[in-house]
Structure 1
């Protein structure tokens, strides 16, 4: 099935610092493309893959699960580690959960973690019925373009395959159990108003990781897809500053910043 225009993966060969970015559930690289291009413009090697089942049509997604999505970013990380001296991982929403699992599994192979409105749980009573309901109902309405700024539109699916949603729920449980294995420096940016992922998800992540160098920034002007919203430039600049600080070994041991 052809990839939707704008949903293509993005790669840039730059310097010795690599950055792997992971997009969200039912989304595509389009939502992170400006972030990836900004990092590339500043000399970094960047990989922004298209996750299996995404960027085409929702019918393709229902044939995939979290193991497929994680395998794709794991492969990209290994490729970056072969080419770069240090590699950072980051993501939006479910992409943040993928980045956290990469950090937990690869240890010193990941230099730092960048998260934007990371997801940790499928919320709502309907989530508990997924093991059964997915056998009777194929899809539910999708949630895309939670953006405060007028103009930008997120490229994603209007329908969510319940089979994939069930797999996502299991994945979040897996990642939550592995969060104590995350020890790398961490930058977490979350929107004060997010209609897709509640603030409790970020709170849960920060309470369970073992990282001692943690920076949390609250974005005041954006909704869930903050990388396409009013605070996008701040996300890009904070990311560059974080990568530069960690890569040069200037630490902030034992601190948590909020702002």
Structure 2
């Protein structure tokens, strides 16, 4: 095998930080070229008013083509909305393997959100709001995400989800069972509909939506690296 490239795509309103822990792990344990681009309008500072779904997908396509300038084989990893974009790439380009992390095939996990909101309310009463990681992470996003951008995200979902059966490459699907954004059943939804027979489903009992920051993320990263390196990965049924 020649040079391998790995493209990691973050989620809606997110940035490279969402998948950077996995990117670091892959760089430390392989000699692959690992690319973690930031989609237009995304990142630590959001500017989503003047971007759209077509631009996000086109940007990911350009990054994939750029990797092929240096690589003989490319794997694609997508988190949340990035999982939908990664699926698009795997359908339309000769990607070798696909990894979907908390892929936004279904959304929202109402039960977990209410649980998080109850925790948030308790912290407000105890005046510990600044200590609540969930609040700090999503407050900025809620304020700075225009409704138009949400419709653009849904465009990607509507275009991509019906095409899952066209995926014919080995695929690893990971999902946190405490996810408050994408319901855990989304992973099984994708697993059951994806076209390939070479597929692996991984569930994290401790992870919320940001699966690359879960308590058991090292185990997840090991499983992903093994899956990508393995030349014969059986269907786990």
Band of TM-score, shorter chain: 0.7 to 0.9
Aligned residue number for residue 157 of structure 1: 141
Q: Could you tell me the TM-score, scaled by structure 1's length? A: 0.75
Q: How many corresponding residue pairs?
A: 213
Shift of 1:180: 1.5
Distance 2:138 2:217 in 1: 14
- Aligned residue runs from structure 1 range 10-159, under 5 A: 16-41=3-28, 42-55=30-43, 57-58=45-46, 60-106=47-93, 109-123=94-108, 157-159=141-143
> Does the Cα contact within 8 Å between 1:31 and 1:154 map onto a contact in 2?
no
Distance 1:29 1:232 in 2: 17
Q: CA RMSD in A?
A: 2.5
Shift of 1:56: 5.2
Aligned residue number for residue 164 of structure 2: 179
Structure 2 SS opposite 1:46: strand
Deviations 1:90-145 (A, max 9, x none): 11111111111110111xx21111111110145499xxxxxxxxxxxxxxxxxx96
**Structure 2 gaps, min length 5:** 111-131
> Does the Cα contact within 8 Å between 1:28 and 1:155 map onto a contact in 2?
no
Distance 1:36 1:154 in 2: 23
Structure 1 SS opposite 2:165: helix
Distance 1:101 1:24, change over 3 A: same
> Does the Cα contact within 8 Å between 1:27 and 1:154 map onto a contact in 2?
no
Distance 1:45 1:116, change over 3 A: same
The one of 229, 232, 236 aligned to 1:250: 232
**Structure 1 gaps, min length 5:** 1-14, 126-143
Aligned residue number for residue 217 of structure 2: 232
Distance 2:174 2:109 in 1: 23
Distance 2:140 2:65 in 1: 27
Q: Could you tell me the TM-score, scaled by structure 2's length? A: 0.82
Distance 1:155 1:185 in 2: 37
